[in-house]
């Protein structure tokens, strides 16, 4: 059974966090008995988050300009962890989201449920470190990334990592990866 079929968003997020924790190496200093490494951090309250509509130029993800239009949403976000200076270390996203993916050149479109759950881990400088998805949720890979170029609807458990230069890599892919660019381009 795919994790996206689990009805309870709380259970989905819990399973996602277990997967992230299992995939996250523990630094040697944190493995000791340092009390600061063992302190409990409570998540901050959920707050509304808006998925903005956007258009990617031809060549970024697809051979054509790709537009994402929001049909309906009730997405929320909360901060789960912060760095000592207050910068966000990890955020969780959850909630229903339905979008239309549109080939701007032809007008061809497909409507999809993209309302899964996710956890974004950031570097101290604010750059992305890792994004964990319990789909369905969308994510794009560009030329030069370590995954085939395209904009994907990911359903199941997926972990995308980012190196310091921003290059993306699909580190974990359990479930479906539907390249929306191929879907909109039609039969080969």
Torsion of CA 139, 63, 110, 156, to 10 degrees: -30
Residue 104, in any domain of the structure:
yes
* Predicted pLDDT at 42: 87
3-state secondary structure (DSSP) of residue 19: helix
Distance separating alpha carbons of residues 153 and 112, to the nearest angstrom: 8
Check: CB of residue 139 under 8 Å from CB of residue 130. no
The Cα–Cα gap between 5 and 7 comes to 6
In the chain, which stretches have pLDDT less than 70? 1-40, 188
Q: Which residues make beta-bridge pairs with 122? A: 128
pTM above threshold 0.75: yes
Residue-wise pLDDT for 158-181, tens only, equals 999 999 999 999 999 999 999 999
Q: What is the DSSP letter of 62?
A: S
Is-contact 156 175, C-beta < 8 A?
yes
Q: What is the pLDDT of residue 26?
A: 39
| Residue 6 burial (10 A CB sphere; 0-12, 13-18, 19+) | middle
Q: Buried b vs exposed e over 137-176: b needs ≥16 C-beta within 10 Å?
A: bbbbbbeebebebbbbbbbbbbbbbbeeeeebebebeebe
**What pLDDT does residue 36 have?**
46
Q: Quick check: is 37 in a domain?
A: no
State which residues form the domain around 152.
Answer: 3-24+48-185
Is 36 inside any structural domain? Answer: no
- pLDDT at res. 137: 96
Give pLDDT tens digits for 46-58: 999 999 999 999 9
Residue 38 belongs to some domain of the structure: no
How far from chain centre, in Å, is Cα 167? 15
Inter-residue contact 157 to 19 (CB < 8 Å): yes
What is the reported pLDDT for 188?
54
Structural domain contains residue 83: yes
Structural domain total, the chain: 1
Contact assessment for residue 129 and residue 159, using Cβ atoms and an 8 Å cutoff: no
Tell me if 180 is assigned to some domain: yes
């Amino acid at each position: 059974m795919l994790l996206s079929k689990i009805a309870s968003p709380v259970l989905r997020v819990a399973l996602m966090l277990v997967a992230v924790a299992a995939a996250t190496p523990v630094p040697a200093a944190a493995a000791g008995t340092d009390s600061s490494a063992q302190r409990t951090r409570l998540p901050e309250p959920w707050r509304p988050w808006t998925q903005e509509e956007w258009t990617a130029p031809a060549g970024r993800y697809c051979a054509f300009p790709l537009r994402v239009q929001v049909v309906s949403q009730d997405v929320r976000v909360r901060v789960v962890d912060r760095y000592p200076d207050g910068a966000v270390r990890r955020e969780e996203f959850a909630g229903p989201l339905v979008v239309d993916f549109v080939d701007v050149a032809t007008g061809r479109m497909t409507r999809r449920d993209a309302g899964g759950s996710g956890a974004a881990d950031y570097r101290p400088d604010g750059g992305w470190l890792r994004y964990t998805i319990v789909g369905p949720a969308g994510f794009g890979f560009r030329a030069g990334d370590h995954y085939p170029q395209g904009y994907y609807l990911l359903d199941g458990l997926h972990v995308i990592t980012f190196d310091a230069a921003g290059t993306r890599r699909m580190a974990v892919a359990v479930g479906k990866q539907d390249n929306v660019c191929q879907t909109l381009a039609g039969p080969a």
